[in-house]
Amino acid sequence: MTDRSPEDGLDTLTVRAVGPATDTGRISLSELARITSGLQATLERIGFAILIGRRRAGRLPREIAEAVRLDFVGFREGSAVLELQRTGEEAIDDLLSDSFIALTSGLDKLREDPTVLPPYFDPPIVNGLVTLCGGISRRNVNRIEFSSGDRLHFVLDAGMRASLKRAQKMSSQQEITVVGRLHMGDFDPMSLRCRIDTHAGSISCDLDDELKEAVFDLLDELVMASGVAELQPDDLTVRVLHLAEISKIETARSRSLDSLAEEQGVQPLDSIRQLRGEDIEDFDEFLRIVQSAR
């Protein structure tokens, strides 16, 4: 059971996105969807983890999802301010508040020490939070604040994203490097993805806004890519690679015969006689040496 005082109950939540992409008091639909769906999915995952810890059987996934549901009820200018409220339906022991408290305290602990996963923060939850932070960059959204009234619960910014990525590396997932040709870039801001074709097969990758331009510039190039890999149950096949670094591999360029001849100073033949070599002064001695070498 999560320790909670009466004032900790979550009824309303204000989400404020700050950055160049929201300076006019607007926010793109894709970024709005990333923030709201990422927050909702995280609360649902934590809610499941809390109920499993309480050993409560018989709860359907749909019931748990409804218990932690937040509704979008308004938008205000001032960078971009979103107003969210609990759905108003009967909750399971106020699972929404417990899940939100676990999220808030977990993020605080990760900011202090990303090498230790807080309670309920399993790899899917960490991966989901990394995706939620995927739009945070210098040119897009710099920070996302979550508050109720005058109380600031937590902030997602570049520092928090770095802590989450470090926690991602500390989990049971593997940090790997692959070499292959970069194909199929999907630059939808909601879900930035690409595919790297290696000698062993194709690997699906996701990335954040900071890497979008680099991936775009390297399409169809041979690349070296590093990141944290989520593996299939066989512990060998990569389900998805969370891209952290990518760089181009220089390959040998083919040269035409004309350019090679020009570089080496080779001229075309004017006569077949030019193929004749130099005269050998003592031809009999030359033959003797050749025969002795057999």
Residue 1's pLDDT is what? 44
Question: From CA 139, how far away is CA 21, in angstroms rounded?
Answer: 7
Distance CA 67, CA 48 (A): 11
Residues 6+ apart with CB under 8 A from 94: 4, 9
Residues in the chain: 294
Which residue stretches of the chain have pLDDT < 70? 1-9, 53-60, 88-93, 171-173, 186-191, 235, 252-255, 272-280, 283, 293-294
One-letter amino acid for residue 44 of the chain = E
pTM: 0.66
In this prediction, residue 255 carries a pLDDT of 67
Q: What is the pLDDT of residue 53?
A: 67
pLDDT of residue 234: 72
- Residue 6, pLDDT score: 40
pLDDT in tens, 176-221: 899 999 987 766 655 678 899 988 789 988 888 888 888 888 988 8
Confidence at residue 263, expressed as pLDDT on a 0 to 100 scale? 76
Which pLDDT belongs to residue 3? 52
